[in-house]
Chain A
């Protein structure tokens, strides 16, 4: 599945739920299924700045594709990491770096999340893309 196909699938999933409490229920569920970061990578270096709750993110390159794991001390935040990972994990650094992430707006997350959480989500996306750009440079060398 391409990044866009995955995004469209997430948008479709969320459109089935009318109530925001239901959407949150789903996000929390995703949080519980988050591919957890290995304890050794839960370091300050892997902490993402700009979140009210703490967020760790780790990246690994396997067979030319990037895989993300993460964690947070807040469950909803874990759900959001899980969403980002669902959309971006398992793709090439180039696909990730050049991806257009539209599902956050389409779901309505950017307008419904609290501003700090929403900023945190953008920091997370920025960080994931930065990792991808770094790996792209590495692969080209």
Chain B
């Protein structure tokens, strides 16, 4: 009954891997098989994830943590098993350090709101970086405004790398939390998060990592890396939409008030207290996304089967080839040229509007993203309206990169 992946470690047979993804086999765009390079926005789903969702709804759909009946227990067991799988994937100490959320945005909002309410005061500082997605800017702006705290931004160089000396200088006793992205969704830069965390921890400052663009490319060990919080989205790691994960260290999560439901209510409602006071349920108010969590587990197991190190190895080769091939296009310039990178490749050609380029790529069956990628301050920094972004996955092929390059050339010739 269960679909077994045809991918065999350690060799990455991309043709076989693509067979696991129905959309890659079926989807046609303007009569051509889709060349999908919008993986930074969302990834396609392997058959095993689709099968798992279907089996859940067909065979044991039931509300978790509530019923005495068999189905509810089965659903609860599957939901909690997913939590354990995620915990193992990140090498968390405890599975109750895994909070299921709606996605990365939800996870960051949870920390900003809950941590902020408890630990931020007027005059305090929150540090983010210049390359953050809006979802790691706005929640902090909101809580800073409420608390009279200040939001400080670590600058970057023209290659899209954080200025670590500036970061060091910014760390003082006013800083209460650092929240930065592991991998930039626009520039593809991999930030030196280990160093960022060590420097903050030397001053007892906790760090949140936005791992939305990292967790599908790089193997993460939260005990070795030691972030205090880490958030990611299921749909960007080949799982369902609407499910996400917030990892938080037990000691922090225990100190933080619930995000939804409200702390005041817990004091007066005895029954609520028993539910919310315990990790991880304290942060999972309401019926959770059971199917999503179970589907996410299937996606993670699939990745583990293919092997994240194999994925990383192949994606690095593909990325090097893509960078090298795109560089040959006349008038093309990369936005973001960090030494260490993963996922996204942003570029512009001459003065051509990224929107025009993206639209003509679409008509050739090539899916890329155009615009500011929810990083408007970053676009302002580069003084551009946006970029064309091709974001790679391990199911993309070298031939697809060739199609992208040919597509860009053709579109650019038309638009010049």
Q: Which residues of chain A have a CB within 8 Å of any CB of chain B?
A: 20-21, 24-25, 28, 52-53, 73-77, 112-114, 117
* Stretch of B239-247, B307-315, B356-364 contacting A (4+ beta carbons < 8 Å): B356-364
29 contacts between A and B (CB under 8 A): A21-B363, A21-B364, A21-B410, A21-B414, A24-B359, A24-B363, A24-B414, A28-B414, A28-B415, A52-B355, A52-B370, A53-B353, A53-B355, A53-B356, A53-B385, A74-B355, A74-B356, A75-B352, A75-B356, A76-B355, A77-B353, A77-B355, A77-B356, A112-B363, A114-B358, A114-B359, A114-B362, A117-B355, A117-B359
CA distance A28 to B413 in the complex (A): 11
A-side contacts of B359, CB under 8 Å: 24, 76, 113-114, 117
Q: Name the B residues within 8 Å of A75 (CB-CB).
A: 352-353, 356, 415
Closest to B363 in A: A20
Contacts of B352 in A (CB 8 A): 75
Count of residues in B whose CB is under 8 Å from the partner chain: 17
What residue of chain A has the Cβ atom nearest to residue B358's Cβ?
A: A114
With a cutoff of 8 Å between Cβ atoms, the chain B residues found around residue A53 in the complex are 353, 355-356, 385
Shortest CB-to-CB span from B389 to chain A, Å, is 14
Decide if A21 touches B360 in the complex (CB within 8 Å).
yes
Which single residue of chain A is at the shortest CB-CB distance from B415? A75
Contacts of A24 in B (CB 8 A): 359-360, 363, 414
Would you call B414 and A20 a contact (CB within 8 A)? no
List of A residues within 8 angstroms of B363 by Cβ:
20-21, 24, 112
Q: Contact between A52 and B415 (Cβ–Cβ < 8 Å)?
A: no
Please, what's the 1-or-0 string for B344-355, where 1 marks a CB less than 8 Å from any CB in chain A?
000000001101
Which B residue sits closest to A23, measured CB to CB? Answer: B363
CB distance from B167 to the nearest CB of A (A): 33
Majority SS of interface residues in chain A?
helix
Q: Residue B321 at the A interface, CB < 8 A?
A: no
Q: Whole-angstrom distance from the CB of A20 to the nearest CB of chain B? A: 5
Check if B377 is an interface residue, CB within 8 A of chain A. Answer: no
Q: Which residues of B contact A (CB under 8 A)?
A: 30, 352-353, 355-356, 358-360, 362-364, 370-371, 385, 410, 414-415
Question: In the complex, how many angstroms separate the beta carbon of B371 from the nearest chain A beta carbon?
Answer: 6
Find chain B residues with CB under 8 A from A114 CB: 358-359, 362
Instruction: Give the Cβ gap from A70 to chain B, nearest Cβ, in Å.
Output: 15
Instruction: Give B294 Cβ to nearest chain A Cβ, in Å.
Output: 32
Residues of chain A contacted by B362 (CB below 8 angstroms): 114
User: B360 to chain A: which residues have CB within 8 Å?
Assistant: 21, 24, 76
**Given the complex, which residues of B lie within 8 Å of A112, measured CB to CB?**
363
B356 / chain A contacts, CB cutoff of 8 Å: 53, 74-77
Contacts of A76 in B (CB 8 A): 353, 355-356, 359-360, 415
Residues of chain A within 8 A of B30, CB atoms compared: 20
Give chain A nearest CB distance to B179 CB in angstroms.
Answer: 29
A28-B414, A52-B355, A76-B356 known, 15 other contacts, Cβ within 8 Å: A21-B363, A21-B364, A21-B414, A25-B414, A28-B415, A52-B371, A53-B353, A53-B356, A75-B415, A76-B360, A77-B353, A77-B355, A112-B363, A114-B358, A114-B359
Taking the closest CB of chain A, its distance from the CB of B360, in whole angstroms, is 6
Which residues of A sit under 8 angstroms from B385, Cβ to Cβ? Answer: 53, 73
Across the A-B interface, the 4 shortest Cβ-Cβ residue pairs: A74-B353, A76-B356, A20-B363, A74-B356
Q: Cα distance A20–B352 when bound, in Å?
A: 20
Task: Look across to chain B and name the residue whose beta carbon is closest to the beta carbon of A52.
Answer: B355
Nearest A-chain residue to B372, judged by Cβ: A52
The one of A21, A25, A73 that contacts B353, using a Cβ cutoff of 8 Å: A73
Minimum distance in angstroms from A87 CB to a CB of chain B: 21
- Docked complex Cα distance between A80 and B30 (Å): 20
The distance in angstroms between the C-alpha atoms of A77 and B357, with both chains bound, is 12
What is the bound-complex CA distance between A114 and B370, given in angstroms? 11
> Which of A25, A74, A113 has most chain B Cβ within 10 Å?
A74
Minimum CB distance partner of A76 in chain B: B356
List chain B residues, Cβ under 8 A from A21. Answer: 360, 363-364, 410, 414
> Closest Cβ of chain A: how far from B268's Cβ, in Å?
47
Interface centre among A28, A73, A75, A114, by most chain B C-beta atoms within 10 angstroms, is A75
> For residue A113, which residues in chain B have a CB less than 8 angstroms away from its CB?
359
A103 to B122, CA, bound (A): 59
Nearest CB of chain B from residue A54's CB, rounded to whole Å? 8
Report B384 CB to chain A, min CB distance, Å: 11
A25 to B363, CA, bound (A): 12
Most buried by A among B353, B362, B370, B415: B353
Contacts of A73 in B (CB 8 A): 353, 385
Report the nearest B residue to A114, measured CB to CB: B359
- Residues of A near B371 (CB, < 8 A) are 52
Complex alpha-carbon distance, A28 and B352, angstroms? 12
